[in-house]
Amino acid sequence: MKLHVLPILVLFPFFSKIKAQELYYAELRPYLDKQSEPFCFGVASGDPLPDGVVIWTKLFSENTDNQDVSWAVATDTAMQHVVQSGILTTDVASAFTVKVDVKNLSPGTTYFYRFKHRDRFSPVGRTKTAPAGDPSLLRFAVVSCADFQSGYYNAFGHIARRNDLDAVVHLGDYIYEYGSWRQGRKRMLKRQYRHHIPDKTCTTLEDYRTRYAQYRTDAQLQEAHRLHPFIVIWDDHEVANNSNVNGTEGNPNGGEAWEQRKAVGRQAYFEWLPIRENPERSIIRQFTYGSLAEMWMLDGRLEGRSPQARGKDDPSLQSPERHMLGSKQTEWLLAGMKNSSARWKIIGNQVIFSPMNDSKVFDRRPSIAMDRWDGYPTERKRIFDFFYQNGLKNIVVITGDVHTSWAFELTGDPYNAAAYDRKTGKGVIGAEFVTPGVTSFNFDEVVPKIIVAEAKRRFKKKKNNPHLRYLDLTRHGYMTLTLTPERAQADWFFIKRKDRVDDRVKNKASRYLPFNGQQVLKK
C-alpha cells in the first residue's frame, strides 16, 4: 500500500498546481473568448506619470510552467515606431499576471502598446502620460460601484468611445464580493441581470481571482481599459462590505481569518488592476498634472479606518482615537496639499466627505451615516481646520460609494450661519462631486418612486443640507471632472438602461466651481 501512495505524494505539489488552475478557470470557460487566448482578459494601463505608465495583461494558461511575454510601447497604432520594449517572465504564483512599469516616456503623449506570447499578439492598447508644464485642460472620467449582477456596463462602453479623456479615475467597488442574490427585497431581485461566479461570497484567493476574471470578461469594461489609463483605489467590496482595519461592520474584530482575507483581497486587486507595484500593496499615492492639478488617492478602508460607530449616540463617536485615514496617511495628505503649488487640489476618496443631515430620511439606519465621514467627525474636523488655517482653497473631492449623484459646496460647518453663507460662498473652500454607480442599486431599486421623491425633497431642503447643490437618486452612469485654469466642472452622464447592452447616454447635469473668487457652485 505504501508503495502505491508514495509516488502520488511525491507528485502532489505538481497535481495541486494543476488542480488550482482548473478550479480557477472551470466555471469561466464557457464565457471566455477562445479566439483571444491567451489574452482573454484584454489589456490595460494605469497610474500615468509624466514620464511613465503601467501596462497590464494576464495570460489564460493551464500550463503551470513559467511563461515569457514580450511587450512593446510605440507612438503609432501599427506598432512600427517602438520606443520601449522588453520581455517579462510570469508564473503561476501571480496567476500569470503581466505588469510592466514603463519608464522614460514623454509627458502628455498618447502611446500604443501590446503584448506577445509565443505566436499570439494581444489587442493593441492606447494610453496617455500625464502632462508637464502648464496644461490648459484636463478631463477625467470618474466611476465607481460596478456590480456585475446589477446590469450591463454601458457606462464603460460610453467611456471607451470617448477620445477626450486624460484618465479614468475608479473610486472603488470594482468588484462585489457577494454571492448571487437569493433573498432580499423583491425589487432588487428583479434586477439581477447576471449571476456571480463563484456562486458564493468571496473569502479565498481563488474566489477573488475568479470574481475579477468574470468581471474582466465583460467586453465594455475590457474596451474602457484598453483605450484609457485608469487611476484606481478600492472601497469595501473588493474585500468585504463596510470593512475597516479590524474587520467588517458585522464582525469588527475579525482576527486571524480577517487578516488572511484582507491579504488575499489585496493580492487579487494588485494582480488584476494596472496599479504600480509596491511592497506594502498600498493604494495611497499622488499624481501631478503639471501646474494645473495635483491628485491624492486615499485609502479610507484598510489603512487606518477604525471600526464604525454604533450610531450618532455612540459615546465613542467624537473620540480623537477614531480614524478614517489614520495619523500617518492624514499627515501625508495635509503636508502634500500645503506644499502643493497646483491650481486645483483633487482628493480621490471612497465615501462622502461633506457633512450631511439625513436624519429625516434614514431615522432607523444609523449604519449608513456611520460608514461615511460623518462617522469620523473629529478627524474630518482636523482636516477642515488645517485647510482653513493654511488658507487652502480650490479643493475638489471626488467620491463614489453611494450609487447616486451629489454636488456639495465644501465647507466645514454648513449648519453654522456664522461660518457658511450659501449666497455669498463664505466658508466655501472647494467642492465635492459624487459619481453615480455604474450599475449598483440606487434608491428606486430599493423603495417605490414616491418614497424616492420624498427622500430627495428632504435631502435638498435648505435647512437640512444648505450646501447641497445637486442630487440625483435614481440614475446610473458616470461623471467627468474637467479642469481649466478658470474652473473645475463636474458633468454627470446617465445611461438609458442597464438591463441589456445599450449605447444611449445623456449629459443630464453640470456644476462648476470658479477658481478663487466667489466659490459658489454654479450651473
**Mean pLDDT to the nearest integer, 190-215:** 92
Alpha carbon 440 to its chain centroid, in Å, reads 13
Instruction: Tell me what pLDDT residue 29 has.
Output: 85
Opening angle at CA 220, ends 497 and 265, nearest 5: 105
Alpha carbon 312 to its chain centroid, in Å, reads 28
Please tell me whether residue 302 adopts helix, strand or coil conformation: coil
Instruction: Tell me what pLDDT residue 249 has.
Output: 73
Closest CA to 248 of 265, 231, 233, 270: 265
Residue with more model confidence, 54 or 23: 54
DSSP letter for each residue of 177-231 = ------SS-HHHHTT--S--SSSS---SHHHHHHHHHHHTT-HHHHHHHHHSEEE
Query: 477 and 494 in contact (C-beta within 8 Å)?
Result: yes
Q: Is the peptide bond before 229 cis (omega within 30 degrees of 0)?
A: no
DSSP letter for each residue of 255-287 = HHHHHHHHHHHHHHHHHHS-----TT----EEE
**Mean pLDDT to the nearest integer, 15-38:** 69
- State the chain's mean pLDDT as an integer: 92
**Mean pLDDT to the nearest integer, 80-106:** 97
Indicate whether 2 pLDDT > 70: no
Please tell me whether residue 433 adopts helix, strand or coil conformation: strand
Residue 243 to residue 237: CA distance in whole angstroms: 8
Closest CA to 435 of 59, 173, 77: 173
Residue 318 to residue 363: CA distance in whole angstroms: 20
pLDDT digits (tens, 9 = 90+) for 477-502: 999 999 999 999 999 999 999 999 99
pLDDT digits (tens, 9 = 90+) for 125-149: 999 999 999 999 999 999 999 999 9
**Mean pLDDT to the nearest integer, 406-415:** 97
Please tell me whether residue 371 adopts helix, strand or coil conformation: helix
pLDDT digits (tens, 9 = 90+) for 512-521: 999 986 778 8
Closest CA to 129 of 215, 45, 24, 246: 45
User: How many residues would you count in the chain?
Assistant: 523
pLDDT digits (tens, 9 = 90+) for 285-296: 999 999 999 999
Indicate whether 6 pLDDT > 80: no
Q: How far is CA 174 from CA 67, 144, 239, in A?
A: 28, 7, 10
DSSP category for residue 383: H
The three grid cell numbers given for residue 344, joined into one nine-digit string: 486645483
Can you name the residues that pair with 522 across neighbouring β-strands?
A: 512
**Mean pLDDT to the nearest integer, 71-82:** 98
HSE of 480, CA atoms in CB hemisphere, 13 A: 24
Instruction: Tell me what pLDDT residue 186 has.
Output: 64
Indicate whether 315 pLDDT > 50: yes
- pLDDT band, very low/low/confident/very high, at 366 (cuts 50, 70, 90): low
Strand order in the sheet with 468-472: 285-289, 293-297, 344-349, 395-399, 430-434, 405-410, 468-472
**Mean pLDDT to the nearest integer, 32-47:** 94
Instruction: Tell me what pLDDT residue 188 has.
Output: 67
DSSP category for residue 492: E
Residue 325 to residue 375: CA distance in whole angstroms: 12
